[in-house]
Amino acid sequence: MKRRTWLLSALGATGALVVGWGVMPARSRLGSPELMLKTQGDVALNGWIKIAADGAVVLAMPRSEMGQGVHTALAMLVAEELDVPLTRVRLEQAGADSIYGNVAMLVASLPFHPLDSEGEHKPTQIKMGEWLVGKVARELGLNATGGSSSIADLWDPLRMAAATARASLLQAAAAAWKVHATEITVASGVMQHASGKSAHYGQMVAAASGTTPSGIQTKSREKWQLIGQPAPRTDIPSKVTGQATFGLDVRLPGMLFAAVQMCPMLGGTAASMDTKDALALKGISKVVPLDAWGGGTAGLAVVGQTTWHARQGAQAIQVQWQAPATGAVDTQRIQANLLKALNEDSGFSFHEQGVPTQAEKSAATRIDALYQAPYLAHATMEPMNCTARVLDGKVEIWVPTQVPQMARDMAAKVAQVDETQVTVHVTQLGGGFGRRLDIDFVGQAVQVAMACQGQPVQLSWSREEDMKHDFYRPMHLAKFQASLDGQGDVSSLRIKSAGDAITPRWMARAAPHLSGPIDMPDKTTSEGLFDLPYGFLNQHMSHVATKSGVPVGFWRSVGHSHNAFFSESFMDAGWGTPLPAGRARGMALHKSFGSIVAQVAEVSLVSGQIRVHRVVCAIDCGTVVNPDTVAQQMESSVVYALSAALYGQIDIVGGVVQQSNFSDAPMLTLSQTPVVETHIVPSKRHPAGVGEPAVPPLAPAVGNALFALTGKRQRALPLVV
């Protein structure tokens, strides 16, 4: 099925929406003051901004902080518009209203080619698709932190909310002082008039409450004082002092602790279990069988006085496990099936231009290559965990999650209560990388809490359970075929890939009420392939979506993470100046999440091992809010991507994941970490992604350097010499 044909079919399926609800104007994201928490002394001016009695600003924060610096960057947008110091902006967890949903992330999921979707002159189908998905996203209000979309999504709503609040405060001061609002200046949250009258925001907020001035404009770029300047991360001090609260830091009066043991075979169940020895141990109170919540695997949880007690109890249980009815999965068999799919299935055509078949027939030379990437685990530093309490028909959870509303829905489903009876406290996340877009562990925690008679219980996974029961980055294969004319120029490029589609599997387990009966083409399978920047006249890019039976999920930079390795290794070119003997450079450039990142890796072989000495990153991510955060994310991405490129691999035999900890799934050590230089391209375009775009080009840059060193082309991950 062609890409635009699919789009028109999708739009046709929602014809009633388009004709009726769909013609209504886009829902405002300013929101009512009633949406913010009622706190003594604070006055809300809209759904995002409250002013405290002392003039401090309180921001409703709908995005999760997992080390990417988003809490600082979003606070900077508000501080800029209100002319207050960043230190005067406090954060408060946002509620569940639709204004806090992530619109940009859903619009970006549409499988449009940049030639169609970028620029001013978009085809009607593209405009209609973006408009409709944007409206649906505003209605759904799916609050998710992912897709490197936080700044892109909230760039306009937050600045407008802050600018509106500022205008209301200035209007109140003008009325009180009987002057024109344009005569009042603001510095550090204090309004001043030439007559000598002054007041901070807290002194005028009561009068400003309930007013909504018209014709609000956000600050022009030349007036910015904070945006674009380096700013210290507001989350760092509490992390340095140990005061930050991550999921595993939650402590409540009378709290119990639970450890899990899940079926070693993915999707399997417990046929029988003997709990006698476990219950006889000191500090153990009960054993709770666990259902397979949120697409996870069934198992059991042992509840004890401490996590140590609970884990000792879990190890003492004798369990007879059984494989799922569908049979045990195996990576070697999956790889063979993917290769078969590449050779036999036509797949979905994400992009075609020119007449590739004609160019292929007249080609003087053809270059073929097969690339492959393995399953990968997220391996977040903080394993999965959730603290839950079920009491008097109400549920309260404390959880490091990227999707608080989905966590709330899961808790309500397990406890069989209405969503309004669930309170979600989002803690800091000890790493997310897409793993915490799933909520299987939330279902487990609530199920255990229901058996604990109102006592709060913190359920946590061991590193081994975390590694063996992830939602993995899918295994993918891709065939490249380039046709060259008599002059050696590329006349046609054909790419076909095969692998599981993530989005339909995720929707089915995390939001089944939003998942359709059939799978729509998933952009993540072909992103970074169908939208390549190379201007070859004849192109054809397709993907064969498979269902391996392995639980798959979003992994940092998703399809780009492996597709960039495929494409940029195939397109490698000789370049650069000579280096000392034994060293070589490799280069790769890739666009993802609206940003373009080019990387140069300087590589050598030390005792037969790959050593990356230096990585230079150049990024064009549009308007930059905090350049320090951009540099930090480039460094983080290099370390994460290099760990995966050198060591990342998940093998499954008989349904059982073979890797279990960092001993057999290692990460980059400090001594192996290269020097990372970051160069930010000045830009005035809309902000784009930062947290993920530096991951994709790293593996091909290193692979291309290895080719320069050894003459051997790297076509599989992890890299080996």
Is 121 a member of any domain? no
Q: How many angstroms separate the CA atoms of 690 and 630, rounded?
A: 6
Tell me what pLDDT residue 11 has: 44
Percent of the chain with pLDDT over 90: 89
582 in the same domain as 539: no
Tell me what pLDDT residue 24 has: 63
Q: Determine how many CB atoms are found less than 10 A away from the CB of residue 86.
A: 17
539 in the same domain as 400: no
Is 108 a member of any domain? no
pLDDT tens, position by position, 60-98: 999 999 999 999 999 999 999 999 999 999 999 999 999
pLDDT tens, position by position, 418-477: 999 999 999 999 999 999 999 999 999 999 999 999 999 999 999 999 999 999 999 999
227 in the same domain as 255: no
407 in the same domain as 310: yes
Average per-residue pLDDT in the chain? 94
Is 269 a member of any domain? yes
3-state secondary structure of 651: coil
pLDDT mean over 668-691: 97
Tell me what pLDDT residue 15 has: 39
* 1 confidence band (pLDDT: 50, 70, 90): very low
Q: How many angstroms separate the CA atoms of 517 and 66, rounded?
A: 33
Tell me what pLDDT residue 214 has: 85
Tell me what pLDDT residue 12 has: 42
Identify residue 620 by its one-letter amino acid code: D
Tell me what pLDDT residue 187 has: 96
640 in the same domain as 623: yes
Pick the range with the lowest mean pLDDT from 6-10, 271-275, 393-397, 509-513.
6-10
365 in the same domain as 485: yes
Pick the range with the lowest mean pLDDT from 412-416, 514-518, 659-663.
514-518
298 in the same domain as 194: no
Tell me what pLDDT residue 6 has: 47
Identify residue 549 by its one-letter amino acid code: G
Q: Which of 241, 274, 296 is the last residue of a domain?
A: 241
pLDDT mean over 16-41: 75
* 380 confidence band (pLDDT: 50, 70, 90): very high
Does the structure show a pLDDT above 50 at 116?
yes
CATH label of the domain that carries residue 607: 3.30.365.10
Pick the range with the lowest mean pLDDT from 364-378, 383-397, 575-589.
575-589
Q: Which of 528, 555, 582 is the last residue of a domain?
A: 555
453 in the same domain as 507: no
Tell me what pLDDT residue 117 has: 86
Tell me what pLDDT residue 510 has: 85
Is 212 a member of any domain? yes
Tell me what pLDDT residue 359 has: 96
Q: Which of 555, 577, 597 is the last residue of a domain?
A: 555
- For residues 341 and 24, which has the higher predicted lDDT (pLDDT)? 341
Tell me what pLDDT residue 518 has: 74
Tell me what pLDDT residue 25 has: 65
Is 371 a member of any domain? yes
Please answer whether residues 483 and 490 qualify as being in contact, where contact means their C-beta atoms are separated by less than 8 angstroms.
yes
DSSP track, 655-688:
TEES--STTTS----GGGPPEEEEEEPP--SPP-
Return the bridge partners of 92, or none.
60
Tell me what pLDDT residue 579 has: 84
Enclosing domain of residue 633: 564-710
* 18 confidence band (pLDDT: 50, 70, 90): very low
Tell me what pLDDT residue 23 has: 57
Tell me what pLDDT residue 575 has: 67
**Vertex 542: Cα angle to 539 and 545 (nearest 5):** 170
Is 48 a member of any domain? yes
388 in the same domain as 372: no
Return the bridge partners of 500, or none.
546
Q: Indicate the pTM of the whole model.
A: 0.95
* 121 confidence band (pLDDT: 50, 70, 90): confident
pLDDT mean over 342-365: 96
Is 720 a member of any domain? no
- Which region holds residue 338: left if phi is over 0, alpha if psi is between -120 and 50, else beta? alpha
189 in the same domain as 72: yes
Is 126 a member of any domain? no
Question: What total number of domains does the chain contain?
Answer: 4
Does the structure show a pLDDT above 90 at 274?
yes
Q: How many angstroms separate the CA atoms of 411 and 406, rounded?
A: 9
pLDDT mean over 645-666: 97
Does the structure show a pLDDT above 60 at 21?
no
Q: How many angstroms separate the CA atoms of 167 and 30, rounded?
A: 14
* Location of structure tokens 């490129």: 645
684 in the same domain as 657: yes
pLDDT tens, position by position, 220-243: 999 999 999 999 999 999 999 999
pLDDT tens, position by position, 489-538: 999 999 999 999 999 999 999 888 777 777 889 999 999 999 999 999 99
DSSP track, 573-596:
---S---STTEEEEEEEEEETTEE
pLDDT mean over 575-586: 84
619 in the same domain as 489: no
